[in-house]
Chains A and B, each alone.
Chain A
């Protein structure tokens, strides 16, 4: 197989081409694009979206959906903010507890799903409302503004164009890729999504794997929440409210199968890059940001259509 054929047989090839074209044309069209500060801004907005996309990607991997990602994220964000500001917890302790809340919320989703046998869509729709209710009940919609200075600084500081905020998502991506490609639980997760019946007959503990997927999804939602909090410099109860569409868009543009068993860390990350690039391009072109939603929808349709065409061409040889 030639190098180019190999490249185009990869599911992410169309994404990579789109990113290259976008990058090249934006550099030519706008002098503000290739500046250090603009690259920093783009990378910074990349962080939260990436982990949120991963959070959804893991539930898609086992053939389920998680509608509670945003609500759980909001809950974690105000919990961490409250612990630091009101209770005076050290940053490390607050972050660890916040991550545990995320895992706990995910465990709840997973256990309810496998124990009741009710579709994860309904369970997470309900728990989303529960999480949001706790969030708003506790905070009465009032944000925490006085977060520790070093925590806020982490969300702002940078090394040339690279924000420190980028470190956790990159580590998460690498660990996740390793987990899914090379560890037994990771393979089981994809096996359960790929053919639940076969997985069960092969002695894979299906229910436990589904719970694991939800727990990891909750953990990633919590990471996203804490990153968003550092980025904003305050703990807003509204953190997570706008995650849902994005969380589905990136994995799907990255070629994930809604039926489960087929996801890609690399392609999801590239999809997030593309989304960020488009958002940035629209800002530079001074397009009303409200149109970003429209473009995201069009992008999902285009990506899914392209992937189908590509699959059909490979089938035909």
Chain B
């Protein structure tokens, strides 16, 4: 199947996700789709799979314009996808999840013998060790990812879209996947492959399209003609704009420390020191346990061994609320919309929420004026673009929402701020403003633990970088702020971790 996208545009409130994107994929090719976070790759995949409708532009299959009203239509047209987010039914078996699009029926009833036999066939292509009768919710993140891939393969579609399929699986499994993809390609299937891993893209794909800020930065170039450097510069943009974070000099005094920490999430032997005024980066792939570590540090997990120290003294954090009130540790969630902000409430109330008790007047009454007195200077300092503090937070752009999150914790007067993926889905300009803002707040001694899977962000901001893999810290690097050498060092830490679990020779082969 030949799929062409013609001049597609898609807006979300406050964000232009895609702006005049054209793209095509032919039978018998693997087409890589690359770009930084927020460049529009996943939006494009969701349009092709019928989940989003484009605001303008056309989809053409074999030169015929098509309109997909729902994912059903796309599946019927022979398109299947592995999406970035998990899309499995937790209480169903592995086999049934794989076969759910087309359950085999015998005499009106689902034929479970065939469900498991067919699922086995597709699962064996990647990992024969997973039991098709196991419940999906009992699987590890990596196993779930493999089930997702098997599920997409089971449709035997003519166009297969894979959005970051290798983000949480081992090298060994990734190689098995690539072997399958090459075979499908030779059978004449069209494949679109989204990945952050350059080596992977170069080794497996035929052509590459790069998106940047919702626009095409490189259009279907043959991979042979693209160097690694050209792909990177297409992704980042010619003028490599970076935030100016000024001179960095963290204080020596430790603010937050973990000593041999093991948690009920599965972290093992986590030891690190976060100093006052420092930005400590925590890098790792999706599913490596970064967000869970943040949650453990604010009291959302049981500590099984080791200890957490605050300003040198061991503490025990009872729950999230006491992390803020007693220990002055704030957490800005990756998912600001569902976990960080109250979207229907005005900026004023969102900023003041953590200190309502402190600013309440006599008789415990809150007034708008008291809230505004806290919120106004912060809104100005953080340059929150809004007509008024009464604006509903849900109506702000993603970047301004993130600034409100930060303002909220500054208002609370926290000493330690854990920030999880601060600039996901935020445009480049605001991203730089947020980077400068994060650097700025550390000057007063606030310690920041920065979680990010955005490598340039990490290298721009962090003073030191911790690398996490499989719920353990595998490396600690002093950041020299040179992109090429730093990204190579970070990735080698991640890969070394991979090597040790899947055999050295295997990894050697995949690197060569």
Contact = CB atoms under 8 A, between A and B. Distances in A.
B435 to A, nearest CB: 32
B91 A198 contact: no
Nearest to B155: A203
Contacts of A262: 91
A184 B89 contact: no
B92 to A, nearest CB: 7
Contacts of A194: 89-92
A191 B109 CA distance: 16
A115 interface: no
A262 B136 CA distance: 14
Contact of B89 (A182, A183, A190): A190
5 contacts: A184-B110, A195-B87, A201-B51, A201-B83, A203-B70
Contacts, number: 66
A201 to B, nearest CB: 5
B187 interface: no
A178 B71 contact: no
Contacts of B96: 187
A226 B498 CA distance: 64
A202 interface: yes
A199 B151 CA distance: 13
A110 B91 CA distance: 24
B101 A183 contact: no
B90 A261 contact: yes
Contacts of A183: 108-110
Interface of A: 178, 182-184, 187, 190-191, 194-195, 197-205, 261-262
Contacts of A187: 92, 96, 100, 103, 110
A191 B103 contact: no
B105 interface: yes
B49 interface: yes
A225 B431 CA distance: 61
A194 B96 CA distance: 13
A205 to B, nearest CB: 6
A204 B103 CA distance: 11
Given A198-B87, A201-B51, A203-B101, A191 B72 contact: no
A199 B70 CA distance: 12
B75 interface: yes
Contacts of B75: 202-203
B426 interface: no
Nearest to A257: B91
A184 B71 contact: no
B131 to A, nearest CB: 15
A29 to B, nearest CB: 40
B108 A202 contact: no
Contacts of B103: 184, 187
A245 to B, nearest CB: 26
Nearest to A184: B103
A190 B92 contact: yes
B153 interface: no
B109 A178 contact: yes
B91 A261 contact: yes
Interface string B465-494: 000000000000000000000000000000
B110 A182 contact: yes
A195 B137 CA distance: 12
Interface string B74-93: 01100001010111111110
Given A187-B103, A194-B92, A203 B110 contact: no
B72 A203 contact: yes
Q: Which of A195, A202, A204, A261 has the most CB of B within 10 A?
A: A202
A195 B72 contact: no
Interface in B80-126: 81, 83, 85-92, 96, 100-101, 103, 105, 108-110, 112
Contacts of B88: 195, 198
Candidate in B51, B89, B92, B103 with the most chain A CB atoms within 10 angstroms: B89
A183 B103 CA distance: 9
B296 to A, nearest CB: 17
Nearest to B115: A187
Given A187-B96, A200-B70, A261-B91, 17 more contacts: A182-B109, A183-B108, A183-B109, A187-B92, A187-B100, A187-B103, A191-B89, A191-B100, A195-B90, A198-B86, A198-B87, A199-B100, A201-B83, A202-B75, A202-B101, A204-B72, A204-B100
Nearest to B75: A203
Contacts of A195: 87-90
Given A191-B92, A195-B88, A200 B71 contact: yes
Contact of B87 (A182, A184, A201, A205): A201
Nearest to A196: B89
A182 B108 CA distance: 8
A200 B74 CA distance: 11
Contacts of A205: 70, 72
Nearest to A204: B100
Interface in B236-259: none
B109 A201 contact: no
Contacts of A198: 86-89
B315 to A, nearest CB: 26
A187 B96 CA distance: 9
A203 B71 CA distance: 5
A238 B88 CA distance: 44
B236 to A, nearest CB: 31
A182 B105 CA distance: 9
A211 to B, nearest CB: 15
A198 B110 CA distance: 20
A190 B51 CA distance: 21
B301 to A, nearest CB: 14
Contacts of A200: 51, 70-71
Contacts of A204: 72, 100
Contacts of B81: 201
A261 B110 contact: no
Nearest to A178: B109
Nearest to B110: A182
B100 A201 contact: no
B326 to A, nearest CB: 27
A63 to B, nearest CB: 12
B332 to A, nearest CB: 25
B91 A199 contact: no
Nearest to A188: B100
A200 B83 CA distance: 12
A200 B69 CA distance: 12
A67 to B, nearest CB: 25
Contacts of A201: 49, 51, 71, 81, 83, 87
A110 B151 CA distance: 30
A197 B84 CA distance: 13
Given A182-B110, A187-B96, A205-B72, A199 B101 contact: no
Nearest to B81: A201
A184 B90 contact: no
Contacts of A190: 89, 91-92
A268 to B, nearest CB: 16
Contacts of B83: 201
A198 B92 CA distance: 12
Nearest to A197: B87
A178 B107 CA distance: 13
A204 B76 CA distance: 12
Which 9 pairs of residues, A with B, have the shortest CB-CB distance?
Answer: A198-B87, A194-B89, A203-B75, A182-B109, A203-B72, A191-B89, A202-B100, A201-B71, A195-B89
B92 A184 contact: no
